[in-house]
Amino acid sequence: MQEADIQFLENSFKKYYFDHFDLIKVPERTFEREFGYQKFNSGMTRHIAIKNDKELHLLLIQNTPSDVYCSNAYYTFPNLPMNEKDWKEADLIFDIDAKDLNLSCRESHTVSICNECNQVSKNLTQCTKCNSTKLEKKSLPCKNCIDGSKKEVLKLIQVLVDDLAVTEDNIQVYFSGNEGFHVYVYNSQFQEIGSRERSELTDYISLRGAIPETFGMKKFKPKRESFPDLDEKGWRGRFAKQVFGSKSKRSKIITELLADGYPSFQKTLDDVSENIGVKIDPNVTMDIHRIFRLPGSINSKSGLTKIYCEDLTKFDPYTEASFLNDDPVDVLANCPIEFKLKNKKFGPYINEKVTVPTFAAAYMICKKLGTLA
């Protein structure tokens, strides 16, 4: 990133942190958590201990970070090296990202940036200018991406509440600031479990590794009565609703499943798991030492804010998470895809100088689809 672009983003982010510190969610038990930050074109600085709002505000104003992070874990000594921190417990956090949903719209709003010559094109396999295959893909998520991510969040909450006895009051949903959502679970019975147990938890939630026997099919002499009913709790009930559709069809479909045999049932189960299992990133939930983007901070991949979703169904990140100002900025834009922020449409731009509000300029610069003119 060019020095002028970095300076522009740093100034814009600094003003945001000065004007909108009230949006920063300083987590409970602050002094037990590890904080960290990154600056543009620089590495991570972590193992920082912060006691209160005032210290956090100071860190943000003094350093003007590109990204700010906080651990989900609680430590006795959060500022010491990892093996000396004395881990106590950690909140459960789930990451749901549009890029993992295999949505059909994805290709239409993804571009490639050539690492050799910086050419931007919609060809996702080879540079149209120098034929290099060293490409960096950038997506400008659409409403369908956000709606798909919301659907997964709602599925996750249902499993947490219905199957795992998590109370809704202890679940908080945040827009990640780019392509999806982070779901936080506080004060649950899972606070003290380690990485291995959290891995098993993600397997259950995503319905990964499910076996036919759980859903009534056996290799030898399967029985009709072993198959789930539509009103059963948990994954058996969800499986029944997906496969049988209604109680009136259940008997006929069980007959067909029995006739097709065990291998065919395994394929059916795999397909069902793909459809009804929750699409979460297991590595995020398993990591009990990770530091996560701080709620209320800006995501340098977009210039948008990681923000709490009070009403997920109505939430629109492109109006509610865009807080940078409207001051006009001249940008040399190479953004071949239209995008919408604060109810205004921008693009497509093909190597052209345009004057846009600061929030739109920051979005394109963060996506590497524009530079200050």
- Is residue 152 helix, strand or coil? helix
Would you tell me how many other CB atoms lie within 10 Å of the CB of residue 219?
A: 11
Please, which residues have CB within 8 angstroms of residue 104's CB and are 6 or more apart in sequence?
A: none
281 is an active site residue: yes
Q: Annotated catalytic, 97? A: yes
Select which of 19, 97, 162, 229 is catalytic: 97
- In angstroms, how far apart are the furthest CA atoms of the chain? 73
Task: Tell me the angle at which helices 53-63 and 3-19 cross, rounded to the nearest 10 degrees.
Answer: 160
Q: 316 catalytic, yes or no?
A: no
Q: Are 340 and 346 in contact (CB under 8 A)?
A: yes
Indicate which residue of 5, 67, 91, 95 is catalytic.
95
Long-range contact pairs involving 132-137 (C-beta distance under 8 Å, separation at least 24)? 136/112, 136/368, 137/110, 137/111, 137/112, 137/113
- Residue of 271, 281, 287, 311 marked active site: 281
**Cα separation values, 178 from 109, 148, 166, 293, Å:** 14, 14, 27, 11
Extract the tokens encoding 297. 């901070």
- Catalytic positions are 95, 97, 281
